Amino acid sequence: MSLFTRTASSLGEMLAAGEVSSVEVTQAHLDRIAAVDADVHAFLHVNAGALDAAAAVDKRRSAGEVLGPLAGVPIAIKDVLCTLGMPSTAGSRILEGWIPPYDATVVARLRSAGLVPLGKTNMDEFAMGSSTEHSAYGASHNPWDLERIPGGSGGGSAAAVAAFEAPIALGSDTGGSIRQPAAVTGSVGVKPTYGGVSRYGAIALASSLDQVGPVSRNVLDSALVHDIIGGHDPRDSTSLTDQWPSFAAAAREGAAAESLKGVRIGVVKELDSPGFQAGVHQRFHEALDLLAANGAEIVEVSAPHFEYAVAAYYLILPAEASSNLAKFDSVRFGMRVNPPGGGTVEDVMAATREAGFGDEVKRRIILGTYALSAGYYDAYYGSAQKVRTLIQRDFASAFEQADVLVSPAAPTTAFKLGEKINDPLAMYLNDVTTIPANLAGIPGMGLPAGLAPEDGLPVGIQIMAPAREDARLYKLGATLERLLEDKWGHTLLSQAPSLAPGEMFAAESGAV
Ligand code: GLN
């Protein structure tokens, strides 16, 4: 079995047992990137220092240092996260070539746990989008079908994981940018509880919605990454001070669970729309049947205000984004464009922002400043905030009836590149299943539920839990993953096209 088809946890065990070095594991992934990334375009930047970082971990290990479970394992990092010494563009021209003078807290935590950054992954500009087509550097491609989107905004991280270029990756999720890419690429992705993972050094889109989280090929690997990046950070004013349980322990417990007796699983009526793609609907209901057959109690819950979630989100997000993006002013950092014949500082800012931002970013800045303007504030931004409260109440009453909630993770499988790019509304509606969790600050996981019969592409199921109960996602997610793999006899990603001529995958089981 090639090293690059192994899961992060199994690589971690091999490294700990001295069966392989981090330099070898890292090289195997760099070779894989060299072989397939011209087709996939998951990476915007490959870390030239990766092998040195790997050698440094090998040295720490041979010096007898006690290292964590993922020490020496490579990881891909979404380009929205600041990385010392590596460009961080957030998919935008305006930050082309910018190298941050510091690491995001999550990146610093990965490095001190001995993980090896492989590089920075592609994304929609400033994380606005569901397809990576809004990246200023060209779209990424879905490894299952290169003509299709890998999801967005974090399509690069999901594509890297699904194409076996990296065993694990970091993403950020403001309205679904971890869970939807995971769903359409057959991988696992988690948006933690708001405040559970530091946002320090994550280039802000909408600060009240953004969360950083893991992407992986199985539930345990996401849990292991979450254990490393999570926990209080004094540099983030919204960071929770909770003591978190071990998510890896929760995943192991879930994978070993004999039965789901006593677990109440709520199906959100409003997110189980007959308008969703038929194969998505079918695989979602088969997963529910499997959970019920193993003892779970399936209850229907209603969240009547979810119908307004997309509308509220597309007012709150642009409002916050228009403020966050004001810092790209050509003066402090990033690109500067001097208008022909010179001009005032305002002229320089205008010329820079005109040249540096793409259409979607401009669209949202205009929408956001409009929604915040004195005459319209109450009608738009104020109303959207009221809807947000109603959605939080919907969740609160749903969680009185169920321990976790489930829905399809996305309404369709991966759509074709170019299909929705000229129709912003159609692109926005793709987020209908994921947005409510961000508005309420609760955690959500996307994980594979099978392939849609009509197109053979991955379908994702979403699990949501009350705020601070992220462990429930890992526990139930790992149980469902095991039940599905027992049923199929293999992991979903082992069926993915290998992308390399003559090579077959024998990818490892997700079950632990
Ligand atoms: N697709 C959503 C949007 O365009 C989600 C973005 C995100 O989670 N960063 O806003």
Nearest residue (by CA) to ligand 1, atom 5, is: 175
* Burial status of residue 236 (CB atoms within 10 A of its CB: 0-12, 13-18, 19 or more): middle
In a domain, 399, yes or no: yes
Domain tally, the chain:
1
In a domain, 86, yes or no: yes
Atom of ligand 1 nearest to the CA of 178: 8
Atom of ligand 1 nearest to the CA of 430: 1
In the annotation, is 420 catalytic? no
174 C-beta closer than 6 A to ligand 1: yes
Handedness of CA 36, 37, 38, 41 (dihedral sign): positive
- For residue 426, the CA-to-ligand 1 centroid distance in Å is 13
CA distances 355 to 325, 328, 470, 481, Å, are 14, 12, 41, 46
Sheet holding 116-121, edge to edge: 43-46, 116-121, 74-78, 168-173, 211-216, 188-191, 444-451, 458-464, 404-408, 264-268, 297-301
In the annotation, is 153 catalytic? yes
CATH of the domain at 496: 3.90.1300.10
444 C-beta closer than 6 A to ligand 1: no
204 C-beta closer than 6 A to ligand 1: no
Structure token digits, residue 265: 């699983």
pLDDT of residue 342: 87
- For residue 400, the CA-to-ligand 1 centroid distance in Å is 29
In a domain, 134, yes or no: yes
Place of tokens 């829905």: 407
173 C-beta closer than 6 A to ligand 1: yes
In a domain, 373, yes or no: no
CB distance 229 to 342 below 8 Å: no
Pocket probe for ligand 1: among 153, 207, 325, 363, the residue whose CB has the most ligand atoms within 8 Å is: 153
128 C-beta closer than 6 A to ligand 1: yes
pLDDT of residue 501: 40
Atom of ligand 1 nearest to the CA of 360: 4
Separation of alpha carbons 162 and 177, rounded Å? 15
Element (H, E) at 447: strand 444-451
> What value, to the nearest 5°, has the Cα angle with vertex 148 and ends 142 and 150?
40
Neighbours of 253 (CB within 10 A): 15
Nearest residue (by CA) to ligand 1, atom 4, is: 129
412: helix, strand or coil? coil
Pocket probe for ligand 1: among 177, 205, 322, the residue whose CB has the most ligand atoms within 8 Å is: 177
Provide the CA 276 distance to its chain's centre, in angstroms.
Answer: 22
Low-confidence residues of the chain, pLDDT below 50?
501-502, 504-506, 509-512
Pocket probe for ligand 1: among 125, 367, 431, the residue whose CB has the most ligand atoms within 8 Å is: 431
176 C-beta closer than 6 A to ligand 1: yes
391 C-beta closer than 6 A to ligand 1: no
In the annotation, is 386 catalytic? no
pLDDT of residue 500: 52
Range of the domain at 238: 3-306+388-509
131 C-beta closer than 6 A to ligand 1: no
- For residue 506, the CA-to-ligand 1 centroid distance in Å is 33
Single pTM value for the model: 0.97
In a domain, 379, yes or no: no
Separation of alpha carbons 314 and 88, rounded Å? 26
- For residue 175, the CA-to-ligand 1 centroid distance in Å is 5
Q: Which of 78, 120, 191, 420 is catalytic?
A: 78
317 C-beta closer than 6 A to ligand 1: yes
Separation of alpha carbons 215 and 173, rounded Å? 11
431 C-beta closer than 6 A to ligand 1: yes
CB-based contacts of 395, cutoff 8 Å, min separation 6 = 303, 405, 436, 440, 442, 464, 466
- For residue 56, the CA-to-ligand 1 centroid distance in Å is 36
- For residue 177, the CA-to-ligand 1 centroid distance in Å is 5
In a domain, 438, yes or no: yes
CB distance 144 to 134 below 8 Å: no
181 C-beta closer than 6 A to ligand 1: no
318 C-beta closer than 6 A to ligand 1: no
Q: Which of 21, 153, 157, 494 is catalytic?
A: 153
153 C-beta closer than 6 A to ligand 1: yes
Q: Which of 10, 177, 198, 216 is catalytic?
A: 177
